[in-house]
Structure 1
Amino acid sequence: MALRESIITSLGDELYEAHVAGVTVPNLRDRNPGMDIVDAYRVQERMIDRRLQSGEKIVGKKIGVTSKVVQDAIGVFEPDFGQLTDAMLVADGATIDLGMLIQPKAEGEIAFVLKRDLVGPGVTAADVLDATEYVTACFEIVDSRIREWDIKIQDTVADNASCGVFALGMEKADPSQIELSSVAMKIERNGQLVSTGMGAAVQGSPLNSVAWLANTLGRFGIPFRAGETILSGALGPMIDICDGDHLRLTVTGGLGTCDLTFKKITGGRNERPTFLR
């Protein structure tokens, strides 16, 4: 049985307020028996509505839970998705204030920036290729409002697919000149290799994951728009982040690098600044 609208609203507000305050809340699934993925997306919609009401703007989408290992761990057999807003975008080379995040982890991905609308259903990998202006290396810093990352699919979907912030590299590669399933990714922390992966880890190819999301959203009448950024999913394991860490992401095939530094500067979200550029 679907959750009542009042409960959906309350849970979306709870997650938004946790985001603003920089705190965590107990997982949603145990407090709401019978909550399903449809309920979870409705909660996500409420949470995002609150962010838009505060002045943020949608700039793209993200795909999560793309690997079989993660899907098995949280009991789901297809990826999920969340919304990206302008407030989540930080610059390549930025220093990020850890006081503005809650329990962040880093993932290396390939980002697609679109040059034309892409409307499902019926979108193929070839359609994604034709609609893409360029691809680039991307750090997604995932961050859960759910206490101690105690998540199943309902929790992460409701929490906007555990979105935190993201950064795009400076290189702009033509995807038609790259076999994206074969590119290799590595993340170095303070000069030491900590994560590796391949393009094929994302649904066989990042093109497939973007096509999946275009078709999934298309069934709900939601298009990809020209100019939007689509994060196609983690190429390898996510890694923990500590105060003072410098992370460098490198993706072969001309996709380039992306660098972020993390420092605890403020005590929380009620202090300034947000992110240092």
Structure 2
Amino acid sequence: MNIQTMANALAEAEHTKQPIAPLTETYGNITVADAYSVQLSQIRKKVDAGAKIEGLKIGLTSKAMQEMLNVYTPDYGFILDTMLYDEFEGLSTDLFIQPKVEFEIAFILNKELKGPNVTVQDVIDATAYVVPAIEVIDSRIADWKIKFEDTVADNGSSAGAILGKKRTLLKDIEDIANIRMVVKKNGELLDEATSSAVLGNPLNAVVWLANELSEYDISVKPGMFVLSGALSKAVPFEAGDEFEADFGVLGKVNAVISKEVVKK
């Protein structure tokens, strides 16, 4: 299996904004290990070129997202500094191929998390604070026709992240598994969900991630953040859209969609 060939194909699709056929169709029987090797190959190349790993995303943690993409196992990907956006700066549609937004809780760490055998208490102890977040997902695979191995190879279909400004300590949250989220699109109610949609508790998702990463001797470093997974279905966007996700005690996070490229 030519890992580099697949990595190059995805990188070219990202660069040209021209999606490719599913890797699982073009290259046949790709294992999950192959897929993560493809992912890591791309990330290492970007880091070697000067990018910095700022965080990680966990995908496919909620029933809504699993059913939406017909993929029923969580996965993960990396968030680089080149993928971070500020609220209200104008997220350009020109940067992506077929993007969607997801709404989730981000954990910012001040201690290293390194599996195996990471527990919920370990995650609590390592968390500096949490913030509301929006993840931009995109697929370099045409029409989102992905199998699990396709999205894993494609960096968990990640494309960007917006972190909310309000910082909340875990000790100030009565129940992190019972955070109610209300999402508005262009001022109108779009969706509602609770944080229990994410593996029963977002803390469980971070535990899962830390232990999965240990398979590749990777840890979540102090100062990094973890996007713990979407509470509800991902939503396509176009220029002119505005999104607001209200996480109650955790505060709000916004995304404004523009046509003009304002970053990168």
Structures share a fold, TM > 0.5?
yes
After superposing on structure 2, the runs of 4+ consecutive aligned residues of structure 1 that deviate more than 2 Å are: 68-78
Residue matched to 1:241: 237
Residue matched to 1:119: 114
What is the CA distance between 1:96 and its match in structure 2? Answer: 1.1
Distance 1:192 1:176, change over 3 A: same
Residue matched to 1:8: 3
Residue matched to 1:274: 263
Indicate if the aligned counterparts of 2:68 and 2:233 stay in contact, CA closer than 8 A.
no
1:255 to 234, 245, 250: 250
Indicate if the aligned counterparts of 2:113 and 2:123 stay in contact, CA closer than 8 A.
yes
Residue correspondence of structure 1 range 6-45 to structure 2 within 5 A:
7-45=2-40
Amino acid at match of 1:37: V
1:101 to 93, 96, 100: 96
Residue matched to 1:207: 203
What is the CA distance between 1:132 and its match in structure 2? Answer: 0.3
CA deviation digits over 1:170-224, x for unaligned, max 9?
Answer: 1000112211110011211110111221110000000000001111112332111
For the residue of structure 1 that corresponds to 2:190, the secondary structure is: strand
Following the alignment from structure 1 to structure 2, what is the Cα–Cα distance between the partners of residues 87 and 186?
Answer: 28
Following the alignment from structure 2 to structure 1, what is the Cα–Cα distance between the partners of residues 181 and 214?
Answer: 30
For the residue of structure 1 that corresponds to 2:216, the secondary structure is: coil
- Aligned positions, number: 263
Following the alignment from structure 1 to structure 2, what is the Cα–Cα distance between the partners of residues 72 and 97?
Answer: 28
Following the alignment from structure 1 to structure 2, what is the Cα–Cα distance between the partners of residues 93 and 77?
Answer: 33
Residue correspondence of structure 1 range 46-195 to structure 2 within 5 A:
46-71=41-66, 76-178=71-173, 179-195=175-191
Following the alignment from structure 1 to structure 2, what is the Cα–Cα distance between the partners of residues 85 and 42?
Answer: 17
159-168 or 49-58, larger mean C-alpha shift: 49-58
Following the alignment from structure 1 to structure 2, what is the Cα–Cα distance between the partners of residues 192 and 215?
Answer: 39
- 1:223 partnered with 2:219: yes
Amino acid at match of 1:274: K
What is the CA distance between 1:69 and its match in structure 2? Answer: 4.6
Following the alignment from structure 2 to structure 1, what is the Cα–Cα distance between the partners of residues 89 and 77?
Answer: 23
Indicate if the aligned counterparts of 2:101 and 2:234 stay in contact, CA closer than 8 A.
yes
For the residue of structure 2 that corresponds to 1:164, the secondary structure is: strand
What is the CA distance between 1:74 and its match in structure 2? Answer: 5.2
For the residue of structure 1 that corresponds to 2:207, the secondary structure is: helix
What is the CA distance between 1:161 and its match in structure 2? Answer: 0.2
TM-score, normalised with respect to structure 1? 0.91
Amino acid at match of 2:14: H
Amino acid at match of 2:177: S
For the residue of structure 2 that corresponds to 1:219, the secondary structure is: helix
Runs of 5+ consecutive residues of structure 2 not aligned to the other structure: none
CA deviation digits over 1:205-252, x for unaligned, max 9?
Answer: 000000011111123321111000100000111111021001111112
Runs of 5+ consecutive residues of structure 1 not aligned to the other structure: 267-272
Following the alignment from structure 2 to structure 1, what is the Cα–Cα distance between the partners of residues 61 and 241?
Answer: 26
For the residue of structure 2 that corresponds to 1:52, the secondary structure is: helix
Following the alignment from structure 1 to structure 2, what is the Cα–Cα distance between the partners of residues 210 and 239?
Answer: 23
